[in-house]
């Protein structure tokens, strides 16, 4: 532990920040952190060229936290991110590193959420603001003085911001900030457009460039499965039915998730236990020993709890929750495939996490193959195989030891040996579904925007009555019009994002908005017919997830 603290303490960061970093399980600063932190601590502007997954979030978060004055209740640092997901990720990282810094507050500002609470948090003195450019410009239109106290600016993934069309928004933000600020720019690439921004807005910047090493885990078979967030437990149970594993570790993000998933697994008869930061060291050691000697087969863990875990029995790793960065992914799946052995790693991906999957593939230099949820036939075959394996050793001398009892039972009950065997099987399988129809009902539906081959298969490849009803046109209520936006699930949009944006910007009551349908490449929203054109004009500059909403009346011909 002394060595771990020494690694970050050598960078002359505040001891409370170092303690928070060590508590997350990081041992030594990465290359980008070693080079960037001293430059930012010294107050220089900087251009950092580094891929996602090199540790760049901590490279700017740690020195900025060091320079924050908790006694001043005003925005002091602004971090701009291209997407809602990245903004939330960066805000979470700041909160983690600031855990031992009383008085430091972080606010995430992004489209698709109500503006009121965000602006209130800024005015109440959040020192660190993590924002997407579009939503921040919305706030500036309401209060042009929001950023006048900011003296540290970070542009994270600047090249992505320009690809998403945020150049004009960035210029508005630059003008709203003090010219004396410190500006740090991170970008995976440095095209001419990024260099032009640096020349106009950075003062004598220092340059840091980190070559991303290709991380290989060739002994591990990797695959991913697209699944809805609320169906992860069902998907995990389905996968366990068909995966031939010895011991398995599942990774989730929160302590509560370790307890919930471990309980769900135990309820299905698996020998499982949770492992998180609240578990005492002696209990942690007992869990690991139980996994080693076979008393446990599955451990559900957080990243911190699993650091240093080395159990040769582990043949599988399930990433139930997406890791925050590629380094964590490599660390997680490295729990299997130890000492040259083969291993298998499965990653559950929600539709809005596809971008992080692409980052993981780019950083590791390996394709994470897509697989489908086991179909009903595969699950049925697996269940029958397990039942066969459990009964086969008992058949040998069973007739000689229990034959007379069989004859008596069939006579007393008045049934055939076949009927009695079926009854005993029903009892032995404890109500487990053993027909295709029954198993099909247990299986979670994969997201509608998944490839055709990954959707649940049904008899004759035709949707059942429930599917037809869900996809049929929905009649409009009287006095409402249906409107369309080109934003959909592939843009990371959910119905609540659209609802929040329309309520906030349109000034409508909740009951005025009807059904919201989010599809892969577009969404449909029911709005009041009365005054619709005025409302659409009012919403024309509204952004959701960094993109313009652009609602239009939808004509169903």
pLDDT digits (tens, 9 = 90+) for 41-66: 999 999 998 766 567 888 999 999 99
Range of lowest pLDDT (104-108, 314-318, 363-367, 482-486): 363-367
Report the DSSP beta bridge partners of residue 301: 251, 275
Q: How many residues does the chain have?
A: 557
Distance from CA of residue 273 to its chain's centroid? 22
Does the structure show a pLDDT above 90 at 371?
no
Which pLDDT score is estimated for 59? 92
Confidence label for 449 from pLDDT (cuts 50, 70 and 90): very low
Q: Which of 73-77, 154-158, 340-344, 356-360 has the lowest mean pLDDT?
A: 340-344
Q: What is the pTM of this model?
A: 0.50
Q: Does residue 513 contact residue 499 with C-beta atoms inside 8 Å?
A: yes
Which is more confidently placed, 190 or 149? 149
Tokens matching residue 361: 């593939």
- Alpha carbon separation from 110 to 366, 505, 539, 543 (Å, rounded): 32, 14, 16, 9
Question: What is the spatial order of strands in the sheet that 247-251 belongs to?
Answer: 272-275, 298-301, 247-251, 314-319, 343-349, 220-226, 369-370
- The predicted-structure confidence for 240-257, as pLDDT tens digits, reads as follows 888 888 899 999 988 888
- pLDDT exceeds 80 at position 269: yes
Residue 457: what pLDDT?
A: 33
Tokens of 421: 């065997």
Domains of the chain and CATH, by start: 2-209 (3.40.50.300), 220-375 (3.40.50.300), 473-553 (3.30.70.330)
Q: How much of the chain, in percent, has pLDDT values that exceed 70?
A: 85
Write out pLDDT tens, residues 489-548: 877 788 888 888 888 778 777 778 888 888 877 888 989 888 888 889 888 878 887 788
- Comparing C-alpha atoms, which of 362, 369, 376 is closest to residue 345? 369
More confident residue, 40 or 402: 40
In the chain, % of residues over pLDDT 90: 26
How many other CB atoms are there within 10 angstroms of residue 234's CB atom?
17
CA distance 10 to 345: 36
Cα dist from 525 to 3, 407, 472, 552, whole Å: 56, 68, 16, 10
The per-residue pLDDT of the chain, averaged, comes to: 81
Confidence of residue 456 (pLDDT cuts 50, 70, 90): very low
Residue 337: burial class (beta carbons within 10 Å; 0-12, 13-18, 19+): buried
* Mean pLDDT along residues 399-405: 76
Residue 108 to residue 86: CA distance in whole angstroms: 10
Residue 4 pLDDT > 50, yes or no? no
Residue 1 CB burial class (10 angstroms; 0-12, 13-18, ≥19):
exposed
């Amino acid at each position: 532990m002394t060595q771990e603290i020494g690694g970050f303490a050598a960078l002359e960061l505040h001891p409370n920040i170092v303690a928070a970093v060590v508590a997350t399980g990081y041992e030594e600063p990465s290359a980008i952190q070693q080079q960037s932190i001293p430059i930012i601590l010294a107050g220089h502007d900087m251009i950092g060229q580094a891929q996602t997954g090199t540790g760049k979030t901590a490279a700017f978060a740690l020195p900025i936290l060091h320079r924050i004055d908790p006694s001043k209740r005003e925005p002091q640092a602004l971090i701009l991110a291209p997407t809602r997901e990245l903004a939330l990720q960066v805000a979470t990282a700041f909160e983690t590193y600031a855990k031992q810094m009383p008085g430091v507050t972080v606010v995430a500002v992004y489209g698709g959420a109500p503006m009121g609470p965000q602006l209130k948090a800024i005015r109440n003195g959040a020192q660190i603001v993590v924002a997407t450019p579009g939503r921040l410009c919305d706030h500036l239109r309401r209060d042009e003085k929001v950023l006048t106290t900011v003296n540290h600016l970070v542009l994270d993934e600047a090249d992505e911001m320009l690809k998403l069309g945020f150049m004009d928004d960035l210029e508005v933000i630059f003008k709203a900030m003090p010219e004396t600020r410190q500006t740090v720019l991170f970008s995976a690439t440095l095209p001419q457009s990024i260099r032009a921004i640096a020349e106009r807005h950075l003062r004598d910047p220092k340059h840091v460039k980190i070559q991303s090493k290709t991380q290989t885990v060739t002994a591990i078979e990797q695959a991913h499965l697209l699944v809805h967030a609320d169906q992860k437990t069902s998907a995990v149970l389905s996968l366990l039915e068909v995966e031939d594993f010895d011991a398995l570790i599942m990774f989730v993000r929160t302590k509560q998730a370790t307890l919930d998933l471990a309980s769900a697994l135990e309820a299905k008869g698996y020998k499982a236990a949770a492992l998180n930061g609240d578990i005492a060291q002696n209990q942690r050691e007992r869990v690991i020993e139980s996994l080693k000697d076979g008393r446990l087969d599955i451990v559900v863990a957080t990243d911190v709890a699993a650091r240093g875990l080395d159990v040769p029995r582990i043949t599988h790793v399930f990433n139930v929750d997406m890791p925050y960065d590629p380094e964590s992914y490599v660390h997680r799946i490295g729990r299997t495939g130890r000492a040259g052995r083969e291993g298998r790693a499965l990653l559950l991906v929600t539709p809005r996490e596809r971008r992080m999957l692409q980052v993981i593939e780019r950083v590791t230099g390996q394709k994470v193959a897509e697989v489908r949820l086991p179909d009903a036939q595969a699950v049925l075959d697996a269940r029958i195989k397990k039942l066969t394996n459990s009964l086969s050793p008992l058949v040998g001398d069973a007739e000689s030891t229990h034959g007379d009892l069989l004859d008596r039972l069939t006579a007393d009950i008045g049934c055939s040996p076949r009927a009695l065997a079926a009854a005993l099987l029903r009892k032995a399988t404890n109500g487990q579904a053993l027909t295709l129809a029954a198993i099909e009902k247990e299986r979670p539906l994969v997201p509608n925007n998944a490839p055709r081959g990954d959707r649940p298969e049904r008899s004759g490849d035709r949707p059942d009555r429930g599917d037809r009803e869900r996809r049929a046109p929905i009649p409009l209520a009287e006095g409402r019009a249906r409107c369309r936006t080109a934003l959909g699930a592939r843009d990371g949009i959910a119905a609540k994002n659209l609802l929040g944006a329309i309520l906030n910007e349109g000034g409508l009551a909740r009951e005025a908005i009807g059904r919201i349908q989010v599809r892969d490449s577009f969404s449909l929203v029911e709005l009041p017919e009365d005054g619709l054109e005025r409302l659409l004009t009012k919403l024309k500059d509204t952004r959701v997830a960094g993109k313009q909403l652009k609602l239009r009346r939808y004509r169903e011909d």
